[in-house]
Amino acid sequence: MKKTPLLFKISALCVAFAYTAQAQQPVTSKFSTAGKKVTVYTTAENTNYRLAKTETVNFTTNEQPKESEACIFVDPAKTFQTVLGIGGALTDASAETFYKLPKAKQQEILTNYYDPKNGIGYTLGRTHIQSCDFSSDSYSYVINNDVDLKSFDIGHDKKYRIPFIKQIIAAAGGKLTMFATPWSPPAWMKTNNDVLHGGSLKAEYDQPWANFYVKFIKAYEKEGIPIWGLSVQNEPMANQTWESCIYTAAEERDFVKNFLGPTLHKSGMADKKLIIWDHNRDLLYQRASTVLEDPEAAKYVWGTGFHWYVHDVFDNVKRVKEAFPDKNLIFTEGCSERFNMSTIHEWKWGELYGKSMINDFNNGVVGWTDWNILLDEKGGPNHVGNFCFAPVHADTKTGEIIYMNAFYYIGHFSKFVRPMAKRVISSSNRDALQTTAFINQDGKLAVVVMNGTDQNLPYQLIIKGKSAATVSLPHSIATLVVD
């Protein structure tokens, strides 16, 4: 694949681990276009543009645009949530694939994902507690019936996943905001005596399972991998053929209130950010409200996580932010399912990411986490055959690295929207042009504009009576950097 250099230079910013929730009410800040230009970076179908610098545009005066003009109106004075980070999941499958590659290819992947200057600058990571579907097998950290967890051992992870994560942290400049998620408790703790096929946590193991999270955090941090936060359960309403465990909203609330929250606090881990739900947008409001309307549960909860496997119900994200403005929202997982190498370059995959990220950020999310950062030529490895796409695939037989257009679509956010940036108003007067915008701590304004049509769409970027003219290419995404 032809590689296009990632040209935009941006300083690496440190993530503040003591992250504070930002209410959705706007905050006023000062911004001027005086002396600034607009640099446009583009990824477009049927071109060689992949995060490529395509033009630089000057501002002119345009106090009142005509209704016939397509416009993106940006108001940097109205700021909303603070960005935590953007990144992807660091799974067994990604780690195993990575170590099947030549050293040079490994370094290429690390640079392209985590270097903020020469790559797309990921700053957020998710990993799993025990095995998940994207592991080569099912495994546990404890032996059967060890209620006291004396046998707890993460030895399995030390072969691939832990070295992989440590290399990534180094590639990201020594800091990565990491959160962890369990797919299932050990089989003997569950009603179905199986880590697969759903089942629920037996009541008598509520406390041992809460202790399990603490053991995991301590073990990983001993290995030099700081854990910023954790979610209670991956997809708690999904009875899957792979590792899964069911919690009703009330069960999750009570587990957080009576066991997990107090256990984290008693263990000196009150600073760890606790995420509820971690499933699709469809039940998002019902799940969040059940937990967050209980003050004794809500006091332990940093925010609500969600996935995209029920698409387009974006207003459910907004409803949660409206109802609980002092709690955070984070996108915790998404991927394109049913891997098929023959469709890997179809443009729809990137546009799926662009649409989701624009809507999710506009509705209040502070972080956005893709699923596996790397998979092999089969869309795995995966011990139940649940093969999927990732933004980057590696042919482990030839060493070829394949970058899906999704990689570049995500990069239009992660490269230019850095941790601690604040979302600002970005309003389009044409349905064909979707947009969101952010102002970074260094004062650079990043405006993302996506065109999912077959048409060239000329438009004006307008900021308080100043206008910069450009054209959105067919099936493209662009980041306009005002600096």
H or E, element range at 206: helix 206-222
431 residue type, one letter: D
Residue pair 268/221 in contact (Cβ under 8 Å)? The answer is no
- Residue pair 347/302 in contact by the 8 Å Cβ criterion: no
Structure tokens given for 455: 């048409």
Exactly one of 45, 96, 252, 333 is catalytic; which is it?
A: 333
Residues facing 393 on adjacent strands: 375, 402
Residue 69 has a CB neighbour count (10 Å cut-off) of 15
Catalytic residue among 235, 251, 252, 351: 235
CA distance 381 to 77: 47
The DSSP secondary-structure symbol of 473 reads P
Contact 253/209 with Cβ under 8 angstroms? no
Active site residue 235: yes
Q: Which residues contact 113 (CB under 8 A, 6 or more apart)?
A: 88, 119, 120, 122, 168, 171, 373, 392
Residue 243 annotated among the catalytic residues of the structure: no
Query: Phi/psi at 402 (nearest 5 deg)?
Result: -115, 120
Cis peptide preceding 381, ω within 30 of 0 = yes
Contact indicator for 295, 261 with CB cutoff of 8 Å = no
Q: How far is CA 209 from CA 81, 212, 238, in A?
A: 33, 5, 19
User: Rounded to whole angstroms, how far apart are CA atoms 402 and 394?
Assistant: 6
H/E element, 71? strand 71-82
- Nearest alpha carbon to residue 129 among 232, 222, 204, 206: 232
Active centre residues (catalytic): 235, 333
